[in-house]
């Protein structure tokens, strides 16, 4: 039961991070033009890895 709840929480977190990343796309484009890089890609990749690692168990 706890394993299922953990997977559900990680899936929800992953989907939320994707939604935030999409919502921040215009801000990221403007920041990139100003020479600043937002770490959204790393955040998405790390949550994806955590979800996949937990889903494999």
Q: Give the H or E element holding residue 34.
A: none
Specify the pLDDT at position 23. 94
Distance, in Å, from the CA atom of 32 to the CA atom of 51, rounded to the nearest integer, reads: 28
Give 14's contacts (C-beta < 8 A, 6+ positions apart): 44, 47, 48, 50, 51
Q: Give the H or E element holding residue 24.
A: none
Distance, in Å, from the CA atom of 56 to the CA atom of 50, rounded to the nearest integer, reads: 10
Taking only the tens place, the pLDDT of each residue in 12-28 is 999 999 999 899 999 98
pTM: 0.72
Position 40 pLDDT exceeds 90 = no
Residue 56 pLDDT class (50, 70, 90 cuts): confident
Structural domain that includes position 46: 2-56
Identify the CA nearest to 24 among candidates 38, 44, 43, 42. 38
Position 33 pLDDT exceeds 90 = yes
* Number of domains, the chain: 1
């Amino acid at each position: 039961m706890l394993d299922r709840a953990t997977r559900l929480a990680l899936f929800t977190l992953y989907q939320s991070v994707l939604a935030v990343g999409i919502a921040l796309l215009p801000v990221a484009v403007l920041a990139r033009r100003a020479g600043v890089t937002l770490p959204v890609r790393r955040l998405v990749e790390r949550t994806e890895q955590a979800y996949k690692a937990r889903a494999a168990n």
